[in-house]
Amino acid sequence: MRFKSTWILLVITVAIVAYFLLVEQPRHRQERESAELATQLTALKRENIQHVILRRAAETLEFTKQGDDWQVAFPVSDKGEDSAINMLVSSAVDAKIERTFAVSDEDLPGFGLGEQPDAILVLQTSNRDTSLTIRIGGHNITKSHFYAQKDTAADVLLLPAGLRRYALWELSEFRDKDVIDFVTENVQKLELASIGRVLTWEKDTENQWVAVSNGDTIRGDDSEITVILRRMRALKAKEFVSDDPAEFETYFPGDNKTIALWLGPERARQSVIFGDKKPDSCFVKLDASDRIVLIDPDILDVFDKTYNDLRDRHLLRFDRGELFMITLETPDTTAKIIRAGAEWAFANPKLGSILQTSMNLLLYKLEGLKFTNVLEERLIDPKSHGFSNPSFQVTLFDWHENIIDRFVCGDESSSIGTRTTTSRSSSVLAEIEQSTLDDLKKAFQDIKKK
């Protein structure tokens, strides 16, 4: 009997659990969702909203979605600020109704919902047959919420204040602030043009920046040129000035500067024109647009750059993975360092051991070694300027003991505190700071374990 009673209790328990899981829990969930739906302002989904209209007392704004991006369709045609328009849409479709009031027409002006409310927001789907219209009135006493009406309903709703704030933003908040939009890696040519001077850099077949200066082809410093491109991408409009092409000459009187980019395999040209400068801003315009905006003037310093500023001034070019041996030669010192597996050692064990962390610092300094100024683009006589009897020479070898590169330092230069220098990869006659050379000598001395 006891065994039978246990089974009966078990069956009853299973039945109760099943009833709760299959009947009661879904019913409670449905009731909860129905209650939430009742307080939701709209059942529209933000991803389905394709058109937005904002009517205010002095203006009407219209936004249209194209793919994933918003465009300003009226009163100007411009790219939209996606984050701002998405915030406006989200605040509407996510809004919860805090309270509902039955109000007579005579009392509506007291809620800011008379004939002319503060704003009217219309959200529409792609075919424009499904929409939400919100009449936006004034704040409540605490300004945490505002009064509104939905579609043609007469009731007054109490909604979160964020929606009202976004609906009253100026047009400028909804316009894209980027002056120019491009992918840095796609730039094939860069031109900096100002009165009386044009600097042109272009990528060669090996994707290296090069320029022609005084008939000589010089290699560009990728990092320096990339900095300019990134600064271009970072340009933001502080103020929208005009969209009227007839006003161009008002802000661009003729002594304009231009930064032009050629993009991608098609080499499509985009250029930014820089006009009048104010104490804390500058007028700019993208050549393909009528939009004139004000930006911070910091970018204007790029027009002071010279070919020497943007050229590659590295004296040594090498890949650490290919590097096997380094030799150092001075009038009173000769040292040979070889790679043994992952570590470095003196070829002559009598010289002692190498401190690997200091060796890494030396390699870093060799990678960053730069000349300061070019004396001749091509070194005509390698035996002149003290290079036949160098004061300092570093040679890099690969695993087959072929020379990768060689840096040579010669006589004192005409500039105070500099020496003449050249290298196999640069082929120039240049100047190097004596302090740079002294720092490199010290780095060689520091690799030996004390």
* Average confidence (pLDDT) over 330-347: 90
**Using CA atoms in the order 357, 358, 359, 364, what is the torsion angle rounded to 10 degrees?**
100
In whole angstroms, what is the distance from residue 191 CA to residue 196 CA?
Answer: 13
**Domain residues for 374?**
320-445
Statement to judge: residues 363 and 426 lie in one domain: yes
CB 121 within 8 A of CB 174: no
In a domain, 109, yes or no: yes
Residue 218 has pLDDT above 60, yes or no: yes
What's the pLDDT at 47?
93
pLDDT of the residue at 126 = 86
Q: Which pLDDT band, with edges at 50, 70 and 90, does 380 fall under?
A: confident
With a pLDDT cut of 70, the percent of the chain lying above it is 92
- Residue 292, in any domain of the structure: yes
Whether residues 152 and 188 fall in one domain = no
Asked if 268 and 338 sit in the same domain, the reply is: no
Last residue of a domain, one of 148, 174, 200: 174
pLDDT band at 386 (very low <50, low <70, confident <90, very high): confident
Q: Is the predicted pLDDT of residue 408 greater than 90, yes or no?
A: yes
Tokens for 92, please give them. 């509407």
User: Where is pLDDT greater, at 213 or 437?
Assistant: 437
Asked if 238 and 296 count as a contact pair (C-beta separation under 8 A), the reply is yes
Whether 148 contacts 136, CB under 8 Å? yes
Report phi then psi at 361, rounded to 5: -65, -40
Residues 160 and 211 in one domain: no
Residue 19 lies in a domain: no
392-402: burial string, b at 16+ Cβ within 10 Å, e else: bbbbbbeeeee
Instruction: Please report which confidence band the pLDDT of residue 339 belongs to, taking 50, 70 and 90 as the band edges.
Output: very high
Residues 158 and 215 in one domain: no
**Same domain flag for 168 and 192:** no
pLDDT at 261 over 60: yes
Looking at the structure, tell me whether residues 170 and 189 fall in a common domain. Answer: no
For the chain, the helix, strand and coil percentages under 3-state DSSP, each to the nearest 5: 30, 40, 30
Q: Is 362 found in the same domain as 415?
A: yes
- Please say which residue of 277, 292, 310 terminates a domain: 310
pLDDT band at 382 (very low <50, low <70, confident <90, very high): confident
Q: How confident is the model at residue 254 (pLDDT cuts 50, 70, 90)?
A: confident
Residues 6+ apart with CB under 8 A from 211: 199, 200, 201, 202, 217, 218, 220, 307, 310, 311
pLDDT at 38 over 60: no
Contact between 50 and 125 under an 8 Å Cβ cutoff? The reply is yes
Q: Is residue 24 part of a domain?
A: no
111, 204: one domain: no
Please say if the pLDDT value at position 422 is more than 70: yes
- State residue 62 phi and psi, 5-degree precision: -130, 135
Statement to judge: residues 141 and 201 lie in one domain: no
- Which pTM value belongs to this model? 0.80
Q: Where are the alpha helices (DSSP H) in 66-160?
A: 82-93
Q: Which of 284, 310, 336 is the last residue of a domain?
A: 310
Residue appearing with tokens 């002594």? 255
Residue 220 DSSP label? B
Chain segment 129-145, per-residue pLDDT in tens: 778 999 999 999 999 99
Q: Are residues 207 and 297 in the same domain?
A: yes
58 phi/psi in degrees, rounded to 5: -100, -10
Q: E strand or H helix at 34, and its extent?
A: helix 25-39
Exposure of 430 by Cβ count < 10 A (0-12 exposed, 13-18 middle, 19+ buried)?
Answer: buried
Per-residue tokens: 225: 């040129």
Q: How many C-alpha atoms does 127 have within 13 Å on its Cβ side?
A: 2
Is the model's pLDDT at 381 over the cut of 90?
Answer: no
Question: Is the domain of 215 the same as that of 284?
Answer: yes
Lowest mean pLDDT among 13-22, 365-374, 420-429: 13-22
Angle between helices 434-445 and 356-367 (to 10 degrees): 160
Mean pLDDT of the chain: 90
Please compute the mean of the pLDDT values over residues 178-197 and round it to a whole number.
95
Q: Is residue 127 part of a domain?
A: yes
Asked, for residue 31, whether it belongs to a domain, the answer is: no
Total structural domains within the chain: 3
Tokens, residue 193? 């043009």
Amino acid at 227: V
Q: What is the pLDDT of residues 142-154, one digit of tens each?
A: 999 999 999 988 9
Higher-pLDDT residue of 200, 103: 200
Predicted local distance difference test score (pLDDT) of residue 33: 39
Q: Is the pLDDT of residue 93 over 90?
A: yes
59 vs 24: which has the higher pLDDT: 59
Does 197 fall in a domain? yes
Q: What is the pLDDT of residues 154-187, one digit of tens each?
A: 999 999 999 999 999 999 999 999 999 999 999 9
Whether 396 is covered by a domain: the verdict is yes
Rounded-to-integer distance, Cα 435 and Cα 153, Å? 80
pLDDT at 31 over 70: no
